[in-house]
Structure 1
Amino acid sequence: MAELVYPPVIGVARTMFRVQGLRFDIGGTENVPRKGGALLVSNHIGYLDFVFAGLTALPNKRLVRFMAKDSVFRHKVSGPLMRAMKHIPVDRSEGMHAYAHALDALRAGEIIGVFPEATISQSFTLKSFKSGAARLAEEAGVPLLPMALWGTQRLWTKGHPRHLGRNKFPITMRVGEPMRANDGEKPGALTRRLRMRVQELLEDAQRAYPGKPSGPDDRWWLPSHLGGTAPTPEEAAELDRADRDERAARR
Structure 2
Amino acid sequence: MEPVYRTLEAVAGSIAAGQGVRRRYFGLENIPRTGGAVVAVNHTAYVDFLPLGLGLHRRGRRGRFLVKSELMDVAVMRYLVRHARAVPVDRSAGTDAYRAAVQDLREGELIVVYPESTISRSFELKEFKHGAVRMAAEAGVPVIPTIVWGAQRQWTKGARRRIGRSRIPIDVEFGAPIHFGPATDAVAGTAVLRETMTTLLHRVQDRYPDAPRRADWLPARLGGSAPTPEQALVIEDAEAAEKARLRARRHGEQPR
TM-score over 0.5 for the pair: yes
Q: Match for 1:51: what amino acid? A: L
Shift, 1:160, TM fit: 3.2
Matched, 1:233 2:233: no
Q: Judge conservation of contact 2:137–2:184 (CA < 8 Å) in 1.
A: no
Secondary structure in structure 1 of the residue aligned to 2:75: coil
Secondary structure in structure 2 of the residue aligned to 1:39: strand
Q: 2:120 matched to which residue of 1?
A: 121
Distance 2:35 2:125 in 1: 28
Q: Match for 1:242: what amino acid? A: A
Distance 2:98 2:14 in 1: 33
Secondary structure in structure 2 of the residue aligned to 1:45: coil
Aligned sequence identity (%) = 43
Distance 1:73 1:55 in 2: 23
Shift, 1:161, TM fit: 4.1
Q: Judge conservation of contact 1:146–1:198 (CA < 8 Å) in 2.
A: yes
- Using the size of structure 2 for normalisation, the TM-score is 0.92
Secondary structure in structure 1 of the residue aligned to 2:55: helix
Unaligned runs of 5+ in 2: 248-256
Distance 1:42 1:149 in 2: 7
Q: Judge conservation of contact 1:56–1:175 (CA < 8 Å) in 2.
A: no
Q: Judge conservation of contact 1:21–1:166 (CA < 8 Å) in 2.
A: yes
Q: Judge conservation of contact 1:24–1:170 (CA < 8 Å) in 2.
A: yes
Shift, 1:76, TM fit: 2.1
Is the deviation greater in 85-94 or in 179-188? 179-188
Question: Aligned in 2, Cα 1:182/1:97: closer, same or farther, shift over 3 Å?
Answer: closer
Q: 1:102 matched to which residue of 2?
A: 101
Q: Match for 1:119: what amino acid? A: T
Q: Which runs of 4+ in 1 moved over 4 A?
A: none
Shift, 1:163, TM fit: 1.6
Instruction: Tell me the number of residue pairs that the alignment of Structure 1 and Structure 2 aligns.
Output: 247
Alignment of 1:216-231 (within 5 A): 219-231=215-227
Matched, 1:11 2:7: no
Secondary structure in structure 1 of the residue aligned to 2:128: coil
Is the deviation greater in 181-190 or in 138-147? 181-190
Question: Aligned in 2, Cα 1:183/1:156: closer, same or farther, shift over 3 Å?
Answer: same
Q: Judge conservation of contact 1:172–1:208 (CA < 8 Å) in 2.
A: no
Shift, 1:232, TM fit: 0.5
Distance 1:219 1:47 in 2: 18
**RMSD of the alignment, in Å?**
1.4
Distance 2:144 2:55 in 1: 11
Is the deviation greater in 112-121 or in 159-168? 159-168
Shift, 1:184, TM fit: 4.8
Shift, 1:98, TM fit: 1.1
Shift, 1:108, TM fit: 1.3
Unaligned runs of 5+ in 1: none
Q: Deviations over 1:2-50 (max 9, x none)?
A: 6111011101110111110000111001100111110000111001122
Q: Match for 1:4: what amino acid? A: P
Q: Match for 1:65: what amino acid? A: R
